[in-house]
Amino acid sequence: MLKARKHFKTIMKHKWYVMVECFKVGLYRQGIVHDLSKFSITEFMPSVRYFQGDKSPIEKERIERWYSEARLHHKGRNKHHQHYWIDIDRGNIIPVEMPEKYVLELCCDFIGAGKAYNPKGFSQREPYDYFMNKIDKKYIHPKTVKDIEGYLASYAITWKLK
């Protein structure tokens, strides 16, 4: 029960930070409904089981099981994830350009995740560095990659100007 409570608090903290960032760019509805699928049984229960507190429980589940049912459920229901925008045609993986409102929500998601999972070490450059160094861009549409880089670089730079 303790892990469930801690996981719930982590989700709510993440949702709060993402909502604040979404509101700053005018994405009010998306800020409110962001990641609601995390409360479904399919996502919540495995996330409680693999809860770590300082990083996504999905990664731990993937290591143990070689896949994550929670991740498959999540990425198929949330348009702000780059994995949602992949099509497969005759064995070819085709990245589809993400609409701008979902690109912005994805950037807010990176920012919110950094603030929720790394509150003491967070800097405004962290989301940009995370995207540039940890995200495989091979299956993201080239324009979408440029848009994400641009938004996150702008976020990092505005921090330096303060």
The pTM of this model reads: 0.90
Residues 140-151: tens digit of each pLDDT:
999 999 999 999
Average pLDDT over residues 52-68: 78
Q: What single DSSP character describes residue 25?
A: T
- Whole-Å CA distances, 138 to 48, 60, 66, 96, 145: 31, 23, 21, 12, 9
